[in-house]
Amino acid sequence: MGEFDLIERYFAKPAGSSALVRLGIGDDCALLAPRAGHELAISTDMLVAGRHFFPDVDPSALGWKALAVNLSDLAAMGATPHAFTLALALPEVVPAWLEAFSQGLFACASQFGCTLIGGDTTRGPLNICITIFGEVPAGTAVRRAGARAGDDIWVSGSPGVAALGLRVRSGELQAAGLDVASLFGALDRPQPRVATGVALRGLASAMIDVSDGLLADLGHVLVASGGLGAVVDVDALPMHASLRAQPAALALQCILAGGDDYELCCCAPPTVRDRLSAAVAASGVTLTRIGITTAQGGITLIDRHGAPLQGIDAVRFKGYDHFD
């Protein structure tokens, strides 16, 4: 099978109905027509075999996740997805693999209403790079830099579940007694919080998606917002049933530093608490208030009585750095 047959067979699907896409796959460029009064939101994520996923991972899950992690970046700005490109390096053409990969990819694309508009295909070590194009009303994107001291800190869903799933898959943790389906679901088919991100527009002062660990990503917001700090109440953290069954130190490690969550972490002034809860409830995702930002830098972990946690080494909660 040649390169063009491959594209035709697995990737040139009928276009979705985005208002922005004027021309999709087949020419030298795709054409997008941004709407008046809006801005394009653009993000790229690369997934490399052996780095971001096991080479023998289920290709359908891989297709889903490659797009989902990009959608999560749009969600974190409050943007609506429209289109994406796919740059794919493949060691060889394995039809069953491509079929499953494409099925997972397009399942995610159709759930979140975005269209594959182009890409590039080449032989090489397995590598998947997606660039996504979304839209926000001009000036309304929620950036990392807008938090103020005294803002509430919120997190969506149940961070830490994917990290627990990874420990099971790598054999570090016994699967017996665990809800493996939901652990692997979180790891393989994360649900980007697109509707929640849009609902938070105009309410959140700053936002980020949690890909490298909750504390590390919260740290990025605090730094971007001028060197704020935070006090996080560990007893307020949302805890999935599978994590509650684990030793407290492991559960905390997964929730605070697990990574691969694709939840949203945002800040917002306490004055919008009720509006924020109502807006997010309509998106069908829980949002939990876990702490407060402070003028003084650094992150302090406290328990429900307000006492700083003893024996917790903040370095353990550092996020993943590819070049560290």
Q: Which residues bind ligand ADP (CB under 6 A)?
A: 7, 11, 25-28, 86, 88, 116, 118-121
CB nearer Mg ion, residue 9 or residue 316: 9
Q: How far is the CB of 187 from ligand ADP (least distance, A)?
A: 25
Per DSSP, the residues of 249-310 read HHHHHHHHH-----EEEEEE-GGGHHHHHHHHHTTT--EEEEEEEESS-EEEEE-TTSPBPT
Separation between Cα atoms, residue 168 and residue 207, nearest integer Å: 30
Query: Measured at CB, which residue is nearest to Mg ion?
Result: 120
Q: How far is the CB of 49 from Mg ion (least distance, A)?
A: 21
Q: Does 303 bind Mg ion (CB under 5 A)?
A: no
Query: Site size for Mg ion, by CB under 5 A?
Result: 1
CB nearer Mg ion, residue 25 or residue 108: 25
Grouping H, G, I as helix, E, B as strand and the rest as coil, residue 89 is strand
* Choice from 5, 8, 120, 235 touching Mg ion (CB under 5 A): 120
Q: How far is the CB of 128 from Mg ion (least distance, A)?
A: 15
Return phi, psi of residue 247, to 5°: -55, 145
Instruction: Considering only the stretches 116-124, 181-189, 250-258, 276-284, report the one whose residues sit in contact with Mg ion under the rule CB under 5 A.
Output: 116-124
Indicate which of Mg ion, ligand ADP, none lies near residue 231 (CB less than 5 to 8 Å, by partner kind): none
Q: Starting from the edge strand earliest in sequence, which strands make up the sheet with 127-137, in order?
A: 38-48, 127-137, 80-90, 115-123
CB nearer ligand ADP, residue 121 or residue 277: 121
CB nearer ligand ADP, residue 117 or residue 239: 117
Q: Does 8 bind Mg ion (CB under 5 A)?
A: no
Grouping H, G, I as helix, E, B as strand and the rest as coil, residue 183 is helix
Of 153, 102, 184, give the one whose Cα is nearest residue 266. 153
Q: How far is the CB of 42 from ligand ADP (least distance, A)?
A: 16
Grouping H, G, I as helix, E, B as strand and the rest as coil, residue 131 is strand
Separation between Cα atoms, residue 122 and residue 119, nearest integer Å: 10
